[in-house]
Amino acid sequence: MAQPVKQSVQKFSNLPDNAHIQIRDLAQLLGCSTCTIHRKFKNGTLPEPVRVLGHRGLSAGTVRQILAGEER
């Protein structure tokens, strides 16, 4: 069953570059599972995640670079 799209993902284009994107939201944005995201972190395909308030993820600016094909 498909996960509902979170409001933070729907409004991704409105977020500032320093907004924190959690792994589950990153997975929705990249169209893959959270397991794939963890695998990409481990093998270096995605940059090392940062921890904010106990949640790992990437900045919105970094995610935009990934989506544009500019990051790794």
- Greater confidence, 47 or 5? 47
pLDDT at position 45 is 94
What is the CATH classification number for the domain harbouring 57? 1.10.1660.10
Give residue 51's domain range: 16-67
Q: Is the pTM of this model over 0.85?
A: no
Q: What is the pLDDT of residues 50-65, one digit of tens each?
A: 999 999 999 999 999 9
Q: Domain count of the chain?
A: 1
- Say if residues 47 and 72 touch (Cβ distance below 8 Å): yes
pLDDT at position 9 is 75
With a cut of 80, say whether residue 71 has pLDDT above it: no
The Cα–Cα gap between 7 and 39 comes to 25
Q: What is the pLDDT of residues 16-49, one digit of tens each?
A: 999 999 999 999 999 999 999 999 999 999 999 9
